[in-house]
Amino acid sequence: MATTSPRTEVDECARGDAALTRAFSLLGKRWSGVVLGSLKSGPAGFRELSRAIDGVSDSVLSDRLAELARQGLIVRAVDAGPPVSVSYALTDAGQALMPALEQIARWAQEHLPEPG
């Protein structure tokens, strides 16, 4: 810490970074980060995501997709068929997060022990 500071730096954003907190009120929910990451290679349907992600339950996936859409990170597009198909895709805001996710993935490869 600061060696010679009589002042309180506590009021700074040093600790309690509001933006990070905000980000993790989303990303800190199970699967939301992975869902976003799964969308980076292009739009996908519900079932496709469900199978790709492996471990997430339908109900939670549904929740996460709804919440991410509500937050404007992804969009739900319905293509009236006749075979009606639904697809989820990243918005600009969602895309903007991809570099960070890629960085996290790279970090995990280097610094996170393998599962097992």
Spell out the residues 6+ positions from residue 51 whose beta carbon is closer than 8 angstroms to its own.
none
**Per-residue x/- marks for a second copy, 54-93, CB under 8 A?**
xx---------------xxx---------x-x-------x
Q: What residue 75 binds from DNA, a second copy, none (CB within 5 to 8 A, per partner kind)?
A: none
Q: Which is nearer to DNA, 70 or 110 (CB)?
A: 70
In the complex, the smallest distance separating the C-beta of residue 101 from DNA, rounded to whole angstroms, is 18
SS3 string, 68-85, reads HHHCCCEEEEEECCCCCE
Contact region with DNA (CB under 7 A), list: 12-20, 35-43, 50-58, 108-116: 50-58
Task: Give the 3-state secondary structure percentages of the chain, helix then strand then coil, rounded to 5.
Answer: 50, 10, 40
